[in-house]
Structure 1
Amino acid sequence: MDRMSSESDAPAPVPTPRERALRSAVDDIERHAATLGWDAPVFVFALVNTAQALAQTPSLADELPDEALAAAAEDPEHLTSIEQDGLPEASTIEELLGQLAWPDEVHGAAIVVERMVVPPEAEQDMPKDPDAAVAYLMEHPDRQDVRMAAGVLRTGESWCALRSRSHDFDDAVAGSPEAVPGLVEALRATLS
């Protein structure tokens, strides 16, 4: 008896070198944020191609860790993340990202944010008043705190890494290119 193949039986596509570099950069950024603990502020990073940055500014080699230099020597797609200080004031992530633009030397951008999530059915009973909604979410028994790291490249690639506070282990971080589509699209807009 022949078994029909389904989409779920198909092997996952092999990531390109650029996709692997982005995954590695976003995963490193998420692990960095994890070392700082929960209830952290928003972090924004510029992503630059390490080899190109070193070619343009050789003195950068003095500032990068040896591991980054070795990785860039082996992988021409290796990315270095540069945390951005002095972010503009904003009341929402959308407002913050709407104020950002990157020079051409920046190949991509990444962000780390924390959010409370509840099952979709719990949102039906959420109060309309913003203060009451926050209180409702904080007290909800099915609430999960999630850290989301998302990164995009000018060439279109994206990667998201998600960590739940209830499963706060490096080997429990989930990832996919479009796990947080709204965040991915908002990041892409900063590169336009």
Structure 2
Amino acid sequence: MKGFIKLISAIALFSIFISLFSGCGATNTGGTQDNGKTGTSAVEYKYGKIDIPGKDGSLCGAPIYIAYEKGFFKEQGFDVNLISADTETRKIGLNNGTIPIVNGDFQFFPSIENNVKVKVVDGLHYGCIKLIVPKDSPIQGVQDLKGKKISVDEIGGTPHQVASVWLEKNGISAKQEDGEVTFLPFSDGNLAVEA
């Protein structure tokens, strides 16, 4: 129940952020209703139509998708269109205003440092980065990872950054050149699990 309350709070903060910073002012009286699904009755949206990345299927995007499915955006006056967008598309969209908000993490920090016009507003959720091993694996803790290969979605992405910090805090170098661990990028999580 505590996690559910945190999720609802995060979604509420997300909705408030959109209300304050979206700059959308059009009213849509087209044939969309109930979370952007096609229908026959016209619905008015106080803030008009906006695109939000939320169709990538990741756990990190779950709060956005839940808010969409539950009609929270509609209740706040937004006709939300969920889109798919990779990290670079999200950065560009935030910078030029075509995407009003994204759920992001470490990969946005270098852009912020390079004066891309984005800012961190609040945390949306936590806990989706996990280390998994096969059931019969002898790996029981961080020290067992020395000399092993670790799959990540991309070098420099959040799982890579989080794993690197964790390894370094436990006395294992995360630098490829030190050879204590090897990071292998898999853009498809299913391939990583299979490997």
- The verdict on a shared fold, with TM-score over 0.5 as the criterion, is no
Q: Which has the larger radius of gyration?
A: 2
> What TM-score, normalized by structure 1, do the two folds share?
0.25
Choose between structure 1 and 2 for higher RCO, CA contacts under 8 A separated by at least 6 residues.
1
Is the strand fraction higher in 1 or 2? Answer: 1
> What TM-score, normalized by structure 2, do the two folds share?
0.25
